[in-house]
Amino acid sequence: MIGQTLGHYRILEKIGDGGMGEVFRARDDRLARDVALKIVRPAASNDQDRLRRFEQEARAAAALNHPNIVAIYDIGMHAGTPYIVSELLEGQTLRERLFDGALPIRQVTDYALQIVQGLMAAHEKHIVHRDLKPENLFITKDGRVKILDFGIAKLLPSEETHVRVSTTMTTQTKSGLVLGTVAYMSPEQLRARPVDHRSDIFSFGAILYEMLGGTRAFKGETNVDTITAVLKDEPVEITEVRPNVPAAFEPIIAHCLEKEPENRFQSARDLAFALSTLSNVTGSRTAAQPTVDVRSRRRLWWGLAVVLLTAAIGIALGFKIHAPVNPSYRRLSFERGTIYSARFASDGRSVLYGASWNGQPLKLYTTSSESPLEHALDLSDAHLLAVSPSNELAVELHGNHGSRREFIDGTLARAPLAGGAPREILEGVRWADWAPDGELAVVHHVNGSSRLEFPVGKVLYETHGWISHVRVSPQGDKIAFLDHPALWDDRGTVDVVDTKGTRSVLSPEWESEDGLAWSPGGDELWFTAIEGGYNRALWAVGSSARQRKILSGPGGLTLR
């Protein structure tokens, strides 16, 4: 190939080789610059449908414009085989860097944030990498991380993948190509199930583990061993592999590597938010308590998440923060998993919440702020939306997990807290709240639009973006909500609409907003949002649109 010309690209030298094809340094004679040219060998060069899908996917990847994603300049065809032209990078892959062992802690934090920021940009355009691994991460000489090869793995047909795995998995050793891939695949990908952006989050967790520990999270002598480890085993705690790793990394890795997608971080933005809290960590473990074992620390981290969540709800229901007294928190749960929603019952002491504990499906629980005991409610496949003054639940039944901690495509239902079959009301509802008189305000998705209805059927506001966190005022005369103008983006404003449909925007657009509640008197709205960076703070705004910051923390807050 050296000296040949493909289009207006003159091949100068070979600079790489892999399972998907060969990479060359080439000269773009038209623009007088050197580029990287990858010649991809598709499984069947005469499969026009497959080549057409490849071209569509390559064009989608080329649309990504982000400093942490390799820039794609051009695509073309040579002798029936497609090729991709991209920016020429100087440096080394993360795999080459890992040959020297684990990375310094601060460098891991920096690289991890860069990788996730690149994933955020891709996922926002609905592009999933599907083959994230150290070989596809490039570190430039100036320390910039670039994600390579978006979507190219789709060129491998399922039949060929099956043959490659089945014929080598029992004999391939640790140096094998397939083993190096399956070690980073998500469980759903290994089971040939549909994958979404959360598969990339699993792969990232395996990479983060390896950057910190210098060893793979999932490994075995054969591919069978490795696949079994990914599907069934938990990796050795990273602090056991490398004792000087700050304990704060442990829950982040664990949350990325959950076996079920719905139990992982639900977006790259959420993951970036968690990683940002590590920006000041060092190699020391001054915050760790040697009398608490590793797994207890992991549970404590998630317990603290529940405490912060519950405390924030308590603030919204009337617990005031008086400076300079610091707020206090009480741990209410002792399991490992993900909290999806939480509400106080009408007595102000009982807490109802939906959680997925220890890898199990979502269930609803009730507990008391005065006791650590929890009781599972007899409601299956239900997501808690709201609790009425008479202790009637508004739940979403049979929903699918959305991009964050909400559920979509479900059915709104009413269910008595004391027990009994739920009564279905309306399909396509994602958010709901009770008014004092027992009516429901809902966010109803119809024909691509998001409608705020109160009562059900009366449209007060409609948008082609999305509405979240609908909350009825204590007086029942206004409905507050977070208005997001763009789909898949949690930027937005705090809005209020009255029962006649008159809407007021009470805040500027926030970089990220999540969580909303009325103050007990109905004169303020409290919410958690980000001005810039990643850490959400608790804010308040009144009808005059005057804002004040109530509370902030080093790890950020989210009001549930």
**Whether the Cβ atoms of residue 412 and residue 394 lie closer than 8 Å to each other:** yes
Catalytic residue (choose from 28, 131, 149, 433): 131
Together in a domain, 313 and 350? yes
**Whether the Cβ atoms of residue 351 and residue 312 lie closer than 8 Å to each other:** no
Tens digits of per-residue pLDDT, 279-313?
A: 545 433 333 333 333 343 344 344 444 444 444 44
Single-letter amino acid code for the residue at 98: L
How would you classify the pairing of strands 503-505 and 512-518? unpaired
The helix/strand/coil state of 197 is helix
Mean pLDDT over the full length of the chain: 80
Beta strands per DSSP E along 252-410: 337-344, 350-357, 363-368, 371-376, 382-387, 392-397, 400-401, 407-408
Together in a domain, 537 and 520? yes
Within-domain flag for 106: yes
Together in a domain, 375 and 430? yes
Of 31, 59, 87, the domain-final residue: 87
Together in a domain, 529 and 408? yes
Together in a domain, 165 and 27? no
Domain tally, the chain: 3
Together in a domain, 260 and 340? no
Closest CA to 529 of 546, 508, 505: 508
Within-domain flag for 559: no
What is the reported pTM? 0.52
Together in a domain, 127 and 234? yes
Within-domain flag for 281: yes
Together in a domain, 240 and 385? no
Domain of residue 60, CATH code: 3.30.200.20
Within-domain flag for 524: yes
pLDDT at 18: 60
Together in a domain, 279 and 309? no
Domain of residue 196, CATH code: 1.10.510.10
Together in a domain, 107 and 82? no
Of 26, 61, 87, the domain-final residue: 87
Please say if the pLDDT value at position 370 is more than 90: no
Together in a domain, 15 and 99? no
Together in a domain, 33 and 112? no
| Tokens, residue 533 | 């960076």
The residue segments making up the domain with residue 317 are 297-551
Residues 94-114: what's their mean pLDDT? Answer: 94
Within-domain flag for 560: no
Please say if the pLDDT value at position 322 is more than 60: no
**Could you give the count of Cα atoms lying within 13 Å of 338 in the half-sphere of its Cβ?**
26
Within-domain flag for 557: no
Within-domain flag for 33: yes
Residues 366-376: what's their mean pLDDT? Answer: 76
Within-domain flag for 441: yes
pLDDT at 211: 97
Active-site residue flag, 131: yes
